[in-house]
C-alpha cells in the first residue's frame, strides 16, 4: 500500500484504521470463543494467533468465563 492508496484526508485514513482494529478485535473475540467452546486449549489458540499462551489468556479469559465458557486447564 502506498500513500496514494490512502484517503486524501488523514482523519479519514486514521478513522479507517480505528474501524479495522475494532473489527479485528471483534473477529478475534468470536474466533477465540468458538475455539474454546470446541475444546481447544490455550496453547493451541495462542499458536494459531501467533502469540503466547499467557497473552491470549490475559486478553480473553475473564470475558470467556463471564460468557460461561468452560475453560481447559491443561492440554493432555
Cβ atoms of 68 and 32 closer than 8 Å: no
Q: pTM (2 decimals)?
A: 0.84
User: Please, are residues 43 and 53 in contact by the beta-carbon 8 Å criterion?
Assistant: yes
Give pLDDT tens digits for 20-74: 999 999 999 999 999 999 999 999 999 999 999 999 999 999 999 999 999 877 6
For the chain, the domains span 9-66
Is residue 45 within 8 A of residue 14, CB to CB? The reply is no
The rounded distance, in Å, linking the Cα atoms of 41 and 51 is 14
Amino acid at each position: 500500500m502506498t500513500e496514494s492508496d490512502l484517503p486524501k484526508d488523514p482523519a479519514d485514513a486514521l478513522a479507517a484504521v480505528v474501524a479495522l482494529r475494532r473489527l479485528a478485535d471483534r473477529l478475534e473475540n468470536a474466533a477465540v470463543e468458538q475455539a474454546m467452546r470446541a475444546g481447544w486449549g490455550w496453547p493451541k489458540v495462542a499458536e494459531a494467533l501467533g502469540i503466547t499462551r499467557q497473552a491470549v489468556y490475559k486478553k480473553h479469559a475473564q470475558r470467556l468465563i463471564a460468557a460461561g465458557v468452560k475453560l481447559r486447564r491443561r492440554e493432555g
